[in-house]
A and B are shown apart, each in its own frame.
Chain A
Amino acid sequence: MADLPQPVRGFGVTFRTMFKRVVTEQYPEDKDKYPPKPRFHGRHQLNRWPDGLEKCVGCELCAWACPADAIFVEGADNTDEARFSPGERYGRVYQINYLRCIFCGLCIEACPTRALTMTNEFELADASRADLIYEKQDLLAPVLPGMLAPPHPMAPGTTERDYYANRIKGAVPDQAAGSPAGQEGS
């Protein structure tokens, strides 16, 4: 073999490889076959309490922690008419700029309410810069069954402490009555 001319030896490599296991993954055809690892840092998500109220209190600690200055938050007051989170304060404006984000996860560590976590979603390409600034509605977790879309009141007889102590297990009818969405539905 060592006597063969170089080009022929090269074809030998090709020939051998034909019998090896294929490692190439077909994207996007086969993407579900190869999900990312559970701890993969993907798109952020703004979580909800089990009754649908938002966890984010608009504290801006995530924005403060972010080394890439990718997050913009503006807090505001919850009112009796429009409550988005337990307690006094909620995040009125929430934006993450995915042109800046380096997916380091420092924001997740900074968040005092576990409002901000990361999903495994990695398909974050788009055609314009503006589309890559995700707004609050793009980041909010879905309203799951048993939840009620805010604004609506806290569970009757509870304070934000009950939420933080995980004593809220889901929305109750009284909350629906107090919410504009609930009134529409009934």
Chain B
Amino acid sequence: MTITSNTGAEVAKAETIAVTVDGVGIEVPKGTLAIRAAELLGIEIPRFCDHPLLDPVAACRACLIEVEGMPKPQPACAQVLSDGMQIRTQQSSPVAREAQEGVMEFLLLNHPLDCPVCDKGGECPLQNQAMQVGRPTSRFEEDKRTFPKPISVSAQILLDRERCVSCARCTRFAEQIAGDPMLELLERGAKQQVGTATDEPFDSYFSGNTVQICPVGALTSAAYRFRSRPFDLVSVPTTCEHCASGCSLRTDSRRGTITRRLAWEDPAVNEDWNCDKGRFAFTYMAQGRITTPMVREDGALRPASWPEAIAIAARGLAQAGSGAGVLAGGRLTMEDAYGYARFARAVLGTDDIDFRARQSSDEEAQFLAARIAGTPATVTYEALERAPIVLLVSLEPEDESPIIFLRLRKASRRRPATVVAISPVRTRGMDKMAATWLPAAPGAEAGVLDEIMSGGSLAETSMAELRDRLQAPGAVILVGERAADVPGLLSAVARLADATGAGLAWVPRRAGERGALDAGALAGLLPGGRPLTDADARDAVARAWGIDAGSLPTAAGRHGTPLLQAASRGEVAALLVGGIEFADFPDPSLARAAVTATAFVVSLEQRHTEVTELADVVLPVAVVAEKAGTFLTWEGRPRPFGQVLREDLAMSDAGVLSMIAAELGQPSPGDVPALRRELGSLGPWSGARATTPGVPAQAITARAGITLASWRLLLDSGAMQEGEPHLAATARPTVARLSEATASHAGLAPAALVTVSGPRGSVTLPWEPAEMVDDVVWLPLRSPGCGVFADLGQVVGGEVAITPGGAA
């Protein structure tokens, strides 16, 4: 409802109508619902089914009001106002009040009133509204309807059918918002109940939202069931640490333990929703935590005091100096990433730093430096919603940035065929976004983009038409982090964006990547997108850091694979490692070798990992709930958040780095406000940027074998999903996907297993036919039973072999 621009205000003004609510006149935009007009006047009408983001159904009848000139009370949530309409709510109309009381009595007939054992008790719209507009006693004396106690609609979502008021919020959410219509209202009359249409579970990445919007305790989550009451909870607005969608969340904790997380309303980003990973994956924070610093002595780690550990870390790192390297990891808050960026340059004097713990390339680093780092948020969620066309390149939003998926689905419900996706596989997510699928084998995507530029044709899609649509104002190209897998792809994306004028945004998967990029945690880049090789940029940064510009490195350092290779040869004197997992790197054994071969390794970690086992000094750091910070969404929008668990004294990464710096006599800020101030004082870079990479699209050479396509599913073997079995059980099954032709060519029987082999090993798993490019196999990148990098030893776009793997 916020009107920002002048023209918007004028348009809105031209279309307003005058109505009266309870005798008070108000002007509202044409098409406003009665319930919204009453809200504007601060008059609350009871409601269950009404939800501002769902289509009205008037299912519950709790909101009945009197409308002048209509014989019977009308539901306010579906009553579209017309000019001059006079409505009366329960505040001024006995008719409305009596109607509402009657409906409430009716709703309570079959309601079990088992509030004491119901999770919604204490925050239940039915409790509250029964107190407001219900009659004190019920005239119902017969037996209430009962159902056996909760049934699981999925491993995570439980349904107590007798509590349901048949408001159809959950079913409408599933159908309209998530596009997973597996919850349905079944039966009629007193037997009416919510259920899954078939015996299949409610399979949705967004299922937790139904628990949040259910106005009664009919839908509850296995994770939060019986955990606490609303009055126990301390609630803090936070930002999700799981992906670059950047959802606003509300984190509830009880006596120092997080009990649940909810989606927090933010119309600009996640609206009222979030995904199940962000909602349920928080138990990892309490598991396997490192509680005390550790140092290596005689080959084994032993607990040490903070001063001792800091002193040893400082000594070792100072000895290495500019010979040290920094692997920051992509999960950091922007302030922490800035801490690493600053520590590397100002204290160590090295530029060998990278935050990308995944498949990455030099071309990508150059692309990011040229086009993304430090740029303001221009392509936003709102822009996606309005865009005449959104071209997705190497991005599967449902898995890799769920809120982008929800926005694109929202846009596509109004304007189908907005989304065009270049991918080897046609996915369920694409269908839900009504997307046009442009098939491209892994590695061939850049060629397809060039094809669009030159206006050729591919399958039934006219490329010239696509190019014209991309030239329309507001057109958007979204490129995922996986584009780094394909040489020439990011160059081609930039070329296409330049040629068409379409907006371009880069969508990393991890929550910390965009912030780390803007904070300068990448070789060659100083904070705010400043090129390290630019003397003016170095001067500005040195001034802000209070050091001599001459002490900053002047030549861009190594990153990604070259840095790891050098380290594995023992050429890096020391490594400072943040939160990384070896299995995330395209060559996990190279990453392990890098850490093993380096003489001195300092690991800043939250939990015991493979890295901490190998490190010489381990310094425990705070998890996201124990510190304040900021994540940048993929748009570049800052999402600051506060500290949830205040009892904890764990220090953030930047805090620990500042202690090491102080030990070396080089004070640097360590607390969040100071880091924000310093980073803010630098601001974005306005000088010359790196040049956009011009790597030509690869020619695809015909290949005898099968090409590997892969990305990470939303719910997989990620370390930050540990300790939540109900969530893990809702993950999509680990299956390979192949086209029918490829499968029959390889002699795979339906419903049998397939063995996919790479240079290092093989995985055997069930397979599913899919609409996809021939001679390509799709595997989940890091799901239980299938780790592409670790098990196969192959990268995405590489060659694998498929053979029948026996009966399932």
Contact = CB atoms under 8 A, between A and B. Distances in A.
B116 A112 contact: yes
B245 to A, nearest CB: 32
B117 A59 contact: yes
Contacts of B147: none
B232 A60 contact: yes
Interface residues of A, number: 16
Nearest to A75: B226
Given A75-B226, A77-B225, A89-B226, A59 B116 contact: yes
B226 A58 contact: yes
A36 to B, nearest CB: 30
Interface residues of B, number: 14
B149 A64 contact: no
Contact of A88 (B117, B229, B231, B232): B117
Given A64-B122, A77-B226, A89-B226, A57 B117 contact: yes
A87 B117 contact: yes
A89 B232 contact: no
A58 B229 CA distance: 10
A64 B226 contact: no
A64 B231 contact: yes
Contacts of B232: 60
Interface in B227-275: 227-229, 231-232
Contact of A89 (B117, B122, B229, B231): B117
B121 interface: yes
Nearest to B231: A64
Contacts of A162: none
A61 interface: yes
A139 B497 CA distance: 71
Contacts of B227: 74-75
Contacts of A58: 226
A88 B149 contact: yes
A76 interface: yes
Interface in A85-115: 87-89, 112-113
A66 to B, nearest CB: 11
A57 B231 CA distance: 17
Interface string A105-139: 00000001100000000000000000000000000
A61 B116 contact: yes
A64 B229 contact: yes
9 interchain residue pairs of minimum CB distance: A59-B116, A75-B226, A112-B116, A89-B117, A60-B229, A89-B226, A57-B117, A57-B116, A76-B226
Interface of B: 115-117, 121-122, 149-150, 225-229, 231-232
Given A60-B228, A63-B229, A75-B226, 14 more contacts: A57-B116, A58-B226, A59-B117, A59-B121, A60-B232, A61-B116, A64-B229, A75-B227, A87-B117, A87-B149, A88-B117, A88-B149, A88-B226, A113-B116
30 contacts: A57-B116, A57-B117, A58-B226, A59-B115, A59-B116, A59-B117, A59-B121, A60-B228, A60-B229, A60-B232, A61-B116, A63-B229, A64-B122, A64-B229, A64-B231, A74-B227, A74-B228, A75-B227, A76-B226, A77-B225, A77-B226, A87-B117, A87-B149, A88-B117, A88-B149, A88-B150, A88-B226, A89-B226, A112-B116, A113-B116
